[in-house]
Structure 1
C-alpha cells in the first residue's frame, strides 16, 4: 500500500467505489468490506467500514481498520483517524494527532481543516482564533460561518465579516471589481438570518439591490432565496418580474411550487415564455413538468432547444434525470420531436444504447454502438459497460448472496491502474494531423 495508490483511488474513484461499498454494507457484508480494505488496500472499503463501525460504537475496530492506511503517512487517512478518535470521545488525542505546528499554522488549508476539527470538539473559540489571521482570504469566510452554526457566536462572526462586506458595497463607485469578495454580503445576511434578525437581513440586502451595490448575480439570487424562505412573495414577485427576471423568475416559480401552487407557477412561466422566449424559462418549465411525471409536455416545452449548442441545449437536462428510468428515457429518445444534439449526435446514440441496456436488451444496445461507433472509444470497453448495465453484474451477485464472488471478480486497484496507463500510452502514441491536432483525445 502506497500513498500514490491511495491518492489515485480518491482522484479516480478507483478500486471498489463508495457506491459498491454502500451496497455491500446495506446487505450486511461488513466483514467482507473490512477484508477487502486489508487485503486489497481498498480505501473506500476502509472509509465505509470505519463509518459503519463508528455508527455502532465499535471505535476500537474502526481504528484497527484505519491503522494500515495511517501507517503510510497519507494525510487523508491521518485525518480520518482523528475523526474516529473524536467520535470516540477522545478529543485531546484527536487534536494532538493533527495539531499544526508553526509552519502548518501558516497554511490556510491546514488551519481550515484543524478549525473544523476544533469546532466538532466543541472548542469553537479556538477554531475562530485559528482562522482570524487568515480572515482576509475570502474563501475562509464561508468556513467561519459553517463552523459557528448553532454555536452562539454570531455577533463575533458578524464583527469579522462585516468589514469585508462594506468595501464590496462601494466597489462600483471606485472601479473595483474583485468579485471573489462579493460573498461577504451574502454571508453577512445569512448570519443575521440564522440569528433571528430576518427583517434586518432582508433590509440590508434589499437596500443593496435598490442601489446596485453588488458585483455578482449570486447576491441577487441570495436575496431572492431569502425572501422565498420567509414567505415574502409579494416582494419576490416584484423582483422577479423586473429587469432581473432572467436571474430570479425561476426562484419565484419555485417558491409557488413549494407552497402547493404548482399550477400558478406553470402559468407564470408559460406567460414569461410567451412574452420573452428565453431558453432559461423553457429549461425550468420542462424540468418542472418532468418532475410532475408529464414527460410528453416536458418534451414539447423543451423541443425548440434540443438542437442548440451545448450551453443552451435542452435535451440533456431531460436525459440525465431519466438515466435510471430506461423506459421513459427510451420514450424521450424515440419521441418524434426529439432531434440529435447540435454537432453531438453521438450522445443520442449512447443514451439510446444505455436505455436499451437498462431494459436488459444488451444485444440491441451493442448493435446501436456498433452502428454508431465513437472514434475515440474502445468497443470492447463499451460492450463490457453495456453488459454490466444490462445485468448490473456486481449488484446482482451481491443481491444473490454472492458478495465474496462479486469482490473477487472486481478488478483490483492495480489492474485498473494498469489499464489506465495502457490507454494513456495508446492515446499518446496517436500522431497529430497536419494542422497539429490529434485524431483522438487529447485533441
Structure 2
C-alpha cells in the first residue's frame, strides 16, 4: 500500500468502488469489507467500514482499520483518523493529529479543514481566530460563515463581512468587473437571515439587485431564493421580469407551486414560452408537468428540444425520473415526437431496452441491445446488465465471466453480491493495480511555448 496508490483510487473511484462497497454493507458483509481493506488496500472499503463501525460505536475497531492507511502518510487517511478520534470523544488527540504547520507550510484548504474541525470540537473561538487573519477572498469568508452556523457568532461574523460587502457593491457600482469578495453580499444576507433579521437582509440585498451593484448570478438567485423562502411573492414576481427574467422566473414559478398555486405557475411559464421560447422555460415546465403525472403534456412542452445538443436536449431530463416507472418510460421513448439525441442515438436504445426488461420483456430488450448499430459499450455488458435487472443473476454472471474484461469483472462483482456470493465477488473484482494498468494512456500532443495544445480540442 502506497500513498500514490491510495490517491489514484480516490480520484478514479478505483478498487472496489463506493457503490460496490455500499452493496456489500447493505447485504451485511461488514467483516468482508474490513478484510478487503486490510488485505487488498481498498480505500473505499476502509472508508465504508469506518463509517459503519463508528455508527455502531466501535471506534477502536475503526481506528484499527484506518491505521495501515495512515501509516502511508496519505493526508486524507490522517483526516479520517482525526474524525474517528473526534467522534469517539477524543477531540484533543484529533486536533493534535492534523494541526497545521506552525512554520507556515500549510495550504489554505488545510487551514479551512482545521478550522472546521475546531468548530466541531466545540472550540469555535479558536476556529474564528484561525481564519480571521487570513480572510483574503471569497473562499475563506465562505468557510467562516459555514463553520459559525448555530454557534452564536452571527454579530461577530456580520462585522467581519460588512466591509467586504460594501467594497464589493461599490466596486460594481464603479463598473469594476471583478472583486476578491464577489460573494460577500449574499453571505451578508445569509447571516442576517439566520440571525432573525430577514427584513434587513431583504432590504439590503434588494437594494444591491435594484442598483445592479452585484457581480454574479449567484447573488441574484440568492436574493430570489430569500424572497421565496419567506413568501414575498409580489416582490419575487416583480424581480422575475425584464433582464432578470430567465434567471428568476423558475424560482418564482416554484414558489407559486409551493404555495398551492400550481395552475398559476403553469400559466406564468407558458406565457414566458410564448413571449421568449427559451429552453430553460421549457425544461422547468416539462418537469413540473411530469411531477404532476401529466406525461403527454410534459412531452408536448419538451418536444422542440428533443433534438438539441448537450444540456439543451430536453429528452434526458424526462427519462431519468422514469427509470423506475417502465410503462411511462416506454411510452416516452416510443412516442412519435421523440427523436434520438444528436450523436447519442445509443442512449435512446438503452432506455428502451431498460423499459422492456423491467416490464418482463427481457428477450425483446436483449435483442434491441444486441442490434444497436452504435453501442456505447460492449453489447454483452448491456445484456448482462439487463439480465441482472430482472433477477437472472446466473445468466448475467455467465455472460460476464466469458467476457472477462476489467469492466466485466467489476460488474460481475456486483452480480455475485446480489446472488449471495460476496466472498467470491471480492475475489473476482480487479485490483486497483489491474484497473490502473487497463486505463488507456493519453496520446501525447504537441504544445506551444505556453504549454497549450496545438491540436483540437485546444
TM-score by length of 2: 0.86
Kept in 2, the 8 Å contact 1:24–1:398? The answer is yes
Trace 1:209-228 onto structure 2 (pairs within 5 A). 209-228=209-228
Offset of 1:403 from its aligned partner?
A: 2.4
Please say if 1:411 is aligned against 2:430.
yes
Kept in 2, the 8 Å contact 1:353–1:364? The answer is yes
> C-alpha root-mean-square deviation of aligned residues, in Å?
2.7
1:223–1:320 CA distance, 2 compared to 1 (3 A): same
Please say if 1:155 is aligned against 2:155.
yes
Q: Which moved more, 1:305-314 or 1:56-65?
A: 305-314
Corresponding residue for residue 176 of structure 2? 176
In the TM superposition, what whole-angstrom CA distance separates every residue of 1:362-420 from its partner, at most 9, and x where no partner exists?
A: 66555445544448855665655555556576555434433223323333322322322
Q: Measure the CA separation in 2 of the matches of 1:385 and 1:360.
A: 14
In the TM superposition, what whole-angstrom CA distance separates every residue of 1:146-188 from its partner, at most 9, and x where no partner exists?
A: 1000001111211222211112212234331116632111000
Trace 1:107-186 onto structure 2 (pairs within 5 A). 107-178=107-178, 181-186=181-186
Q: Which moved more, 1:165-174 or 1:354-363?
A: 354-363
Corresponding residue for residue 287 of structure 1? 287
1:339–1:26 CA distance, 2 compared to 1 (3 A): same
Corresponding residue for residue 401 of structure 1? 420
Q: Measure the CA separation in 1 of the matches of 2:79 and 2:427.
A: 30
Offset of 1:103 from its aligned partner?
A: 4.1
Q: Measure the CA separation in 1 of the matches of 2:312 and 2:302.
A: 11
Q: Which moved more, 1:184-193 or 1:240-249?
A: 240-249
Q: Measure the CA separation in 2 of the matches of 1:16 and 1:354.
A: 25
Trace 1:371-410 onto structure 2 (pairs within 5 A). 371-374=371-374, 394=413, 397-410=416-429
Q: Measure the CA separation in 2 of the matches of 1:327 and 1:413.
A: 39
1:175–1:207 CA distance, 2 compared to 1 (3 A): closer
1:173–1:262 CA distance, 2 compared to 1 (3 A): closer
Trace 1:4-23 onto structure 2 (pairs within 5 A). 4-23=4-23
Kept in 1, the 8 Å contact 2:173–2:213? The answer is no
1:105–1:260 CA distance, 2 compared to 1 (3 A): farther
Corresponding residue for residue 433 of structure 1? none
Q: Measure the CA separation in 2 of the matches of 1:126 and 1:151.
A: 13
TM-score by length of 1: 0.89
Q: Which moved more, 1:406-415 or 1:226-235?
A: 406-415
Q: How many residues align?
A: 431
Corresponding residue for residue 256 of structure 2? 256
Please say if 1:54 is aligned against 2:64.
no
Q: Measure the CA separation in 1 of the matches of 2:193 and 2:139.
A: 20
Kept in 2, the 8 Å contact 1:104–1:110? The answer is no
